[in-house]
Structure 1
Amino acid sequence: MTRAPLRTVRPQDLAAVYTQPSVQLTRLVRQGRVRRAAPGIYYALPDDRDAAWLPTLEALAAGAATALYGERVPVLMHLTAARLLGALPRAIAQAVVAVPGRHRDLPVLDRPAGVIRFVTRDVDALDATLVRTDLGPVLATGPEQTVLDLTKRPGLGGLPDECRSAVRTLLPRCAPERLDELARAQRMVGTLRRLRTEHPDSEDVVG
């Protein structure tokens, strides 16, 4: 498990190692060396962390999505990317991940509340960069992509005020030409137009 991407696996991923992976994972959970991230998904604690340590929700979501879809496939997006970019000062109880296929939302099992939300996207078309998390590196959208996504779907996750605040914080870091380029390539010209209407004071950024 420590060699798996983001130290996160499903029982079937260990079939070549254990004859009864679920039994072995249950034993490791009891020993405090492994935790359940979500139904059917487990992660190994880093060697230098004690049993009370918890990864960030962003890291846990990245690990769970990677276990489901493969390394460097999922992309952290929307408010989750805004959080990683420093545009969302407080932690929230949900993480949003772009994946190439439909998947139901998953409850987080290693803390009292939390949910991983999956959004079907063409992940290869997203403007994303590799960022570090508590469990390892993962792709996350950059400022321009994040601003467009937040503007297009402010209701995703039920936190529209946080979305608008994150957009205001990120806009000074956005390149106008990159916003135009992404909007055209991803059929989000209407979204960019709404962004310009909602943030007229940022005319030097959004054009």
Structure 2
Amino acid sequence: MVDDTRVLRQFEAAPLRALRLRDVKDDDKANTWRTIERLVDRGALRKLTHGVYVAPPGGRDAHRWRPTLEAAALAVATARHGVDDVALTGISAARHWAAVPRAIGEATVAVPAAGYAPITLETGGRVRFVPRDMERLDLIREDTELGRGLVTTPEQTLFDLLMRKHANLARDEVDVATRNLAARANPADYQHVLRAAKRVNQPAKAMLEWLGRDAHVG
């Protein structure tokens, strides 16, 4: 149908290929949900959470395709807040940087305001929305399977984990992530992160000293 195609193209053109139902432009606004249901039934769209849907990349069948937890979490946050106001952070950013070897059942996304309850994705996994001052974060735009989005840099991610900006994670998972991130962190970039922070704890300060010594030895 013409309307179905027009609606699907909106998802394909959207940042991270995701939109809220309320943001879909449809000539028959009262029945937009019916259009979405048809597209879901056809495997052209997949529901991520209440009111948010995503178009699989590359024309894949949504009945057989499932996004990674990190990509899905970032897509939901992007649909709600905009692509420039959200970022993967904490252990989810560590996963993006391949600093955590195994999958984690929870994703963390930085958002510009507080008050957003955690959600459980239809595709599996839980997402926490953490209020952060985006201007103070060291961010980089990275490719995901759904498109380009913001992620905290390895240095910012390392700092966040050392500052204990994580929850429901085993200590050994965080230790593995910090070791792997420290191995690739640039001392000057890490120092920049510390200078931008409002508060720096002792583990984060000690990491700067360790990075400096390691760079000197290298």
Query: Could you state the TM-score of these two structures normalised by the residue count of structure 1?
Result: 0.88
Which whole-Å CA distance do the structure 1 matches of 2:209 and 2:191 have between them? Answer: 16
Aligned-pair CA distance for 1:84: 0.8
Q: 2:191 aligns with which of 156, 171, 180?
A: 180
Q: Which residue of 1 aligns with 2:136?
A: 125
Structure 2 unmatched ranges of 5 or more: 1-10
Counterpart check, 1:105 vs 2:118: yes
Conservation of the 8 A alpha-carbon contact between 1:82 and 1:88: yes
Aligned-pair CA distance for 1:206: 9.2
Aligned-pair CA distance for 1:158: 2.8
The amino acid that maps onto 1:64 is: V
Q: Which structure would you say has the larger Rg?
A: 2
Pick the structure with more helix per residue. 2
How many residues are paired up? 203
Q: Which residue of 1 aligns with 2:50?
A: 39
Q: Secondary structure at the match of 1:169?
A: helix
Which whole-Å CA distance do the structure 2 matches of 1:195 and 1:164 have between them? Answer: 13
4+ long deviations beyond 3 Å: 15-18, 195-203
CA spacing shift, 1:17–1:106, aligned 2, 3 Å: farther
The amino acid that maps onto 1:177 is: A
Counterpart check, 1:141 vs 2:141: no
Counterpart check, 1:84 vs 2:96: yes
Q: Which residue of 2 aligns with 1:162?
A: 173
Deviations, residues 134-185 of structure 1 (Å, cap 9, x unaligned): 1101100111100110111265233332111100111121122322221122
Q: Secondary structure at the match of 1:92?
A: coil
Which whole-Å CA distance do the structure 1 matches of 2:135 and 2:191 have between them? Answer: 18
Q: Which residue of 1 aligns with 2:67?
A: 55
CA spacing shift, 1:159–1:61, aligned 2, 3 Å: same
Q: Secondary structure at the match of 2:13?
A: coil
Which whole-Å CA distance do the structure 2 matches of 1:167 and 1:177 have between them? Answer: 17
Q: Which residue of 1 aligns with 2:14?
A: 4
Conservation of the 8 A alpha-carbon contact between 1:6 and 1:137: yes
Q: Which residue of 2 aligns with 1:204?
A: 213
Q: Secondary structure at the match of 1:164?
A: helix
RMSD: 2.2
Larger mean Cα displacement after TM superposition, 3-12 or 197-206: 197-206
Aligned-pair CA distance for 1:117: 0.8
Deviations, residues 69-118 of structure 1 (Å, cap 9, x unaligned): 0122201000111111110111111111000012111111023xx11110
Query: Could you state the TM-score of these two structures normalised by the residue count of structure 2?
Result: 0.84
CA spacing shift, 1:128–1:199, aligned 2, 3 Å: closer
Aligned-pair CA distance for 1:65: 0.4
Larger mean Cα displacement after TM superposition, 172-181 or 2-11: 172-181
Q: Secondary structure at the match of 1:2?
A: helix
Aligned-pair CA distance for 1:189: 2.4
Counterpart check, 1:73 vs 2:85: yes
Q: Secondary structure at the match of 1:55?
A: coil
Which whole-Å CA distance do the structure 2 matches of 1:5 and 1:155 have between them? Answer: 26
CA spacing shift, 1:172–1:158, aligned 2, 3 Å: closer
Aligned-pair CA distance for 1:204: 2.0
